Amino acid sequence: CKGNVSVSLMIVTLYLFAVYNVFCILCITSPLGCLVNNQKTILKGIAMSSAVLLIIAFSVIAPLYANPVFAESDLPMLVVSKSVSGPLFYVYALLLLMGIFGTSISSFVSIIDYVCVKSKSASKNKFIIIIPLSISAFILSRFGFSTLISILYPVSGYIGCVALILLTINYFKQIKTSK
């Protein structure tokens, strides 16, 4: 996100951020739904996680909106933390690095596991997947973090929008056929 952030772009960005996160947690939360017997517990969980997501989204967007110069950086929140405090900068940088590394590893392992479940040859020899995936990740890393995020997050958000619409349609079709 370079330059000034317009209000309409900020609304789309917040929406895509929310949809991206919802889309990512579906595979985690879906199996848990059948383990919870009480509908109120599910609704409380949805309300609490939505509130936390909104707080995180606004805490990230607010400083960028208040000072658009921060948005010109590859890692704007790192610049914000540096402007607040030197020690906070190092703590935030470490947390950010751990978050990026953790996300990368979990995504890498998830892709390998998914392909191994779908392909018998890949499950016998995981290097068939690991080597091309590693090479692809290395090549993509050459484009820079902000470039990848500016492309992948919105694309994932739009895919998530389509997926959520299709899930909603399927949900109502299931209700209609069960009557």
pLDDT digits (tens, 9 = 90+) for 126-149: 888 889 888 988 898 888 777 777
Could you tell me the pLDDT band of residue 7, with boundaries at 50, 70 and 90? low
Q: What is the mean pLDDT of residues 89-113?
A: 85
Q: What is the mean pLDDT of residues 85-109?
A: 86
Per-residue model confidence (pLDDT) at position 1: 43
Task: Please state, rounded to an integer, the average pLDDT across all residues of the chain.
Answer: 80
Closest of 108, 147, 159 to residue 129, by C-alpha: 108
| 2 pLDDT more than 90 | no
* Site of tokens 């607040």: 84
Would you say the C-alpha torsion 64, 68, 74, 76 has a positive or negative sign?
negative
- Between 29 and 106, the more confident residue is 106
Of the chain, the percentage scoring pLDDT greater than 90 comes to: 4
Closest of 22, 16, 11 to residue 164, by C-alpha: 22
CB-based contact 64:70 (threshold 8 Å): yes
15: number of CA atoms within 13 Å, CB side?
10
pLDDT digits (tens, 9 = 90+) for 12-59: 777 777 777 777 676 666 666 677 778 788 788 888 888 887 888 788
Per-residue model confidence (pLDDT) at position 66: 80
| 4 pLDDT more than 60 | no
Instruction: Count other C-beta atoms under 10 Å from residue 120's C-beta.
Output: 8
Question: What is the CA angle 21-24-28, rounded to 5?
Answer: 120
